[in-house]
């Protein structure tokens, strides 16, 4: 992930280790989605959830393209599900040129990269390396019954 918010919004949902085989399910919030697929004019349009997002009440109706734009004055629900108030008199103004929190962000594709590592065996190889390198004997006490 390129952003601390993206990293912090991820959590391991299911992790299963069976000998030398590992499976993992990772769940992330809006920050993880924005980090993974980018935001604004730099976002990756191959995001499988993008069409649903654009057709939902969460998408800014004054946003005719992917550029981050102002909303008309009034309450709206943001990407986090919170009701917030726009103070702008005019909707559709390009906010990306202001930078800061409005700056577009390229996609990290971090989740796809992690999935590719899982598929190509890199994670399993690291797991095997850890199993071989860890000093297991220091943590086990053998006793006779």
Task: Report the distance separating Cα 83 and Cα 106, nearest Å.
Answer: 27
**Is 97 inside a domain boundary?**
no
**Is 70 inside a domain boundary?**
no
**Is 23 inside a domain boundary?**
yes
**Total of domains in the chain:** 1
**Is 4 inside a domain boundary?**
yes
**Is 141 inside a domain boundary?**
no
The residue ranking higher by pLDDT, 50 or 117, is 50
**Per-residue pLDDT at 9 exceeds 80:** yes
**Claim: this prediction has a pTM higher than 0.95:** no
Q: Which structural domain range is residue 129 located in? A: 1-38+107-136
The conformation of residue 133, written as its DSSP 8-state character, comes to H
User: What is the phi/psi pair of residue 73, to 5°?
Assistant: -55, 140
**Per-residue pLDDT at 30 exceeds 80:** yes
For 39-61, what is each residue's pLDDT tens digit? Answer: 999 999 999 999 999 999 999 99
The CA-based angle 102-106-110, given to 5 degrees, is 125
| 53 burial type by CB count under 10 A (0-12 exposed, 13-18 middle, 19+ buried) | middle
Return the CA Rg of the chain.
22
């Amino acid at each position: 992930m390129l952003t601390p918010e993206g990293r912090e919004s991820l959590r391991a949902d299911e992790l299963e280790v069976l000998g030398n085989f590992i499976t993992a399910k990772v769940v992330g919030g809006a920050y993880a989605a924005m980090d993974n697929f980018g935001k604004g004019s730099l976002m990756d349009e191959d995001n499988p959830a993008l069409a649903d997002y654009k057709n939902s009440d969460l998408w800014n109706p004054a946003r005719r393209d992917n550029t981050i734009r102002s909303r008309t004055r009034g309450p709206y629900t943001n990407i986090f599900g919170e009701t917030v108030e726009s103070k702008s008199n005019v909707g559709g103004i390009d906010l990306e040129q202001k930078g800061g929190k409005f700056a577009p962000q390229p996609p990290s594709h971090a989740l796809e990269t992690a999935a590719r590592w899982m598929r190509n065996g890199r994670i399993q190889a690291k797991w095997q390396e850890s199993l071989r390198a860890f000093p297991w004997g220091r943590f086990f006490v053998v006793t006779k019954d």
